[in-house]
Every structure is written in C-alpha cells, then in structure tokens.
Amino acid sequence: MVELSLTAAAAVPGRFTGDGVAVVIDVLRATTSLTVARAAGAGPITAAATPEQARALRERLPDALLCGERDGLRIPGFDLGNSPFEYGRDRVAGRALIFASTNGSQALQAAGAARRCWLAAFVNLAAVVEAVAGEPRVWVIASGKLGHFAIEDTACAGLLCRRLAERGATLQGAAARAAATLAVGDAAQVKSLVEGAPHARALRALGPEFARDVEFCAGLDVMDHAFTV
C-alpha cells in the first residue's frame, strides 16, 4: 500500500509506525543534496525545524556539520548550505549532518516515526523504487514549499507511485492515484518540468551557482543508490 501527502504540512508526525516506511521528496533541493551527501560518505542526518534548533543540537553533537538554508541561501554561521555541489567527499565523509532547510526538514521530521525514512528525488528515483518495492506500507511525503503544493515534488512523488504500482503496489487515496496518473515519465519531460517550476525560477534568480543546482536536480535516475537518513 502506498499513500501520499502532498505537502510536509499535511503529513501528520507519527502517521506511519510499525511496519511502515517513509519516502521524503524535496527535489529543489534538500533530498537531492542529502542523497549526494550520503553517496559521498556522510553519516547520519538529523533534521532540525529551525536554525536555532540546529544550533542546540550541535551542542550535543559537536562533531556534526551544520547544514541548511533560508530563502535559498546558506544560514549565517552554518558549515554548508543546500546545494548538492557543496556535499563533496572532502567535506562530508564520515561526518554527521544536522540539516535545517525551509521545507525538506519539516518533511523529514514528520516521517520520524517510520521504521525507515528514505531520501528520494528525481536523481535517484529508480534506486528508491528498488529499495521500497517490497515494503507492505510506503508513505510518500512531497515536501512542498512553505506549506503549499510544489509541482516538482508532486511530479516526483507521482512517478514514484506509478513505478511502485507497476510493481504491484496498491495506491491508497486520491492524492497517490492522481499524482501517478499525471506524472511525467521520461528524462526530457522531467527536465522541462523541474526547470520550469516556480521554485526553480526563484533559485536561478539568485545566481549561476543556483542555476547549476537546478540543472542537476532535474536529472532523472542519474544516481544508482538509495539512502536513508
């Protein structure tokens, strides 16, 4: 059974417990960046709702890196922001991360009661499908933006739902069924949708480094591994 929450705000903390696993999606850019970080050898990820909570957590985890953004920009005093290009092996290998992004962190916290929480984005979607296809209950959380629907997250969630349904999963609820029906299906369509999303346009307005982030986040199935937090 696969269920979908269209925003982090709609995802009730503790909704899935016991045998349920969660899949969190924040295409631009949290789960893309955190997937890159884990592929580069980063250790456990702890989500923080606010910069203040992140700093408090670091008092208990002094060796962890403070990571995150507000309004797209690295939080002052933090070690890393929210660009996938910041999370190279030389920076994150072997290091725990405390992550406080505007939207993705809220979704990660909502998924905290699940038996396992997977990071998903377009860049590693096929790997995530392989990882969760055998699970009896999968709860997909599309992070959205500031409590509202985000087209890139819903499209990614819809493609995940469609691929799981093709593997025999039952889609539970109107959100999962509608997203799967409307999802784009190939790399060119994904690239066009992500790069045309309002959030992508806002990021590109911040400068060429952010435009590079958007281009990377728009890649479909370019990474071979799935990771949990």
Query: Is the pLDDT reported for residue 55 higher than 90?
Result: yes
- Residue 156 sits in a domain of what CATH number? 3.90.1560.10
Range of the domain at 133: 2-228
Taking only the tens place, the pLDDT of each residue in 132-151 is: 999 999 999 999 998 899 99
pLDDT, residue 13, reads: 62
DSSP strands (E only) in the chain? 2-5, 20-25, 45-47, 65-70, 73-74, 97-100, 116-120, 137-142, 227-228
Is the pTM higher than 0.85? The answer reads yes
Strand blocks (E) in 1-131: 2-5, 20-25, 45-47, 65-70, 73-74, 97-100, 116-120
Domain tally, the chain: 1
Kindly report, residue by residue over 151-206, the tens digit of the pLDDT. 999 999 999 999 999 999 999 999 999 999 999 989 999 999 999 999 999 999 99
